[in-house]
Amino acid sequence: MRATYTRNLLTGDCRISVKTCSEAINYMGEIYGFIRDNDLFCRMNTDFYRVNFTLRGGEELEEKLPKIMQFIDDVQNGRVKP
């Protein structure tokens, strides 16, 4: 799993791009719940080999960054079960 954070310094828009293998599909319930509970705008693309999640927002996304990174870490280390 690889996450990239970018921020436009002129507009303040933020984007987090998470790329992972297709195994993330097994965690869709947990991922959807996290996105819904934290009021995030997310787009998902998949080709059944790779899954890409793109989170977009402004300063509110930057404020939620530690919580997002903790969720990714929890999924990677098996603390979130499908």
pLDDT tens-digit map of 34-60: 999 999 999 999 888 899 999 999 989
For the chain, how far is it from start to end, CA to CA, in angstroms?
16
φ, ψ (nearest 5 deg) of residue 54: -125, 120
| Cα 43 to Cα 3, 16, 46, 54, distances in angstroms | 14, 11, 10, 5
pLDDT tens profile 14-27: 999 999 988 888 88
Residue pair 16/65 in contact (Cβ under 8 Å)? The answer is: yes
* Tokens 């929890």, residue located: 74
Give pLDDT, residue 25: 83
- Residues of the chain with pLDDT > 90, as a percent, come to 66
The pTM score is 0.84
**In this structure, what DSSP letter does residue 40 have?**
-
pLDDT band at 63; cut points 50, 70, 90: very high
